[in-house]
Each structure stands twice: as C-alpha cells, then as structure tokens.
C-alpha cells in the first residue's frame, strides 16, 4: 500500500479528538494497511490515525519481538473499559516526538474493547507492554501525548525544542 508521513510536534492535528468510525469499508481497510506499512517503516510498535493526519478512531500495533513473525493488530473505535489500581513506570517514546524518551506512570493493566477489521467485537485483557502501548495509542485518539504526563517543566522544554526545530526547518504545522 503506502507509507504515509507521520506528523511531528507541534502539529496541532496531534491535539485533535478523532471521530468514531461508522463503517468498516475499503477506505478504512486501506487506511489500516497504510498505517501498518508506516509503522513498520518508521520503525515503531504502534500508530494512531491522527499521527498520519486522519482524525478517525483507529490504532495499529505489533508487539512481536525481533525475529518473530509480525503480529499486526488493528483496533477500530477502541475504548478502555477498566484500568488496574496498580501502576508501572516505563520509558516511552513516540514517532510524533522523535528521539526523546521519558519515564511515564500508567495503570499496569487495562481491559480494552474494540472492533477488528472483520467487524467483530473484541474484549481483551492487557498487561505489561501491551497495556502500555494500548494506553499510549488510545491517548492519541483524544489529542493526548505522552509528554502530557511529564512535569510542566519537562513538557515545556520538549515543546520549545520542537517549536524551535520547526522554525529553523521552515516546516509548517497544520
């Protein structure tokens, strides 16, 4: 299919709330395939549609370890329905905030409900890395970035760095 450009901070589309998907049609299936191609090309382990400029509630991920066959997962209209009381702190990065990694505290386990590409309703219990990636990617659907969990000082430093880079590159955020 196609590798799409990944939006980078401070692009304002990263702060928009994505719309629910009403129907799984050829356009949505093409978007899912393009998102997987983009994620693998980056390389990354998760990608949300707003990161490629499409304000739809769809996320792709693949948590297969290096050397394992790909295990692509497409989540349409995903929703976290339960979070654990236990939390974990893990280092996160983001394709839309390249080359920066910070420790973020999140619930250790979640229950997620979504529709797959075949239109089937799925409920999954997620813990560990799977739970973290789900939370990170679903945040994108609501215009939330992982840096929003950092202290104001750290977050402001990241924003200033990317705003400065944008000015010097001549790149224009949408």
Could you list the active site residues?
137
Q: What is the dihedral of CA 165, 50, 40, 122, to 10 degrees?
A: 150
Q: What's the alpha-carbon Rg for the chain, to the nearest Å?
A: 16
The CA-CA-CA angle for residues 4, 36, 82, to 5°, reads 120
The Cα 144–Cα 36 span in angstroms is 21
CB-based contacts of 40: which residues, under 8 Å, 6+ apart?
A: 62, 70
Task: Decide: helix, strand or coil at residue 142.
Answer: coil
């Amino acid at each position: 299919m196609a590798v799409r450009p990944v939006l980078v901070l401070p692009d304002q589309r990263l702060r928009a709330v994505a719309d629910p998907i009403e129907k799984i049609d050829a356009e949505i299936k093409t978007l899912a395939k393009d998102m997987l191609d983009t994620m693998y090309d980056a390389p990354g382990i998760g990608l949300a549609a707003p990161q490629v400029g499409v304000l739809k509630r769809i996320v792709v991920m693949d948590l297969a370890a290096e050397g394992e066959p790909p295990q692509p997962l497409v989540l349409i209209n995903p929703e976290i329905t339960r979070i654990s009381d236990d939390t974990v702190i893990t280092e996160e990065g983001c394709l839309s905030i390249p080359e920066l990694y910070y420790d973020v505290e999140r619930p250790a386990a979640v229950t997620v409900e979504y529709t797959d590409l075949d239109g089937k309703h799925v409920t999954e219990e997620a813990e560990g890395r799977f739970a973290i990636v789900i939370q990170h990617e679903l945040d994108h659907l609501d215009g939330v970035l992982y840096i929003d969990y950092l202290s104001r000082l750290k977050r402001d430093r990241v924003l200033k760095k990317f705003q400065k880079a944008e000015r010097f590159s001549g790149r224009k955020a949408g």
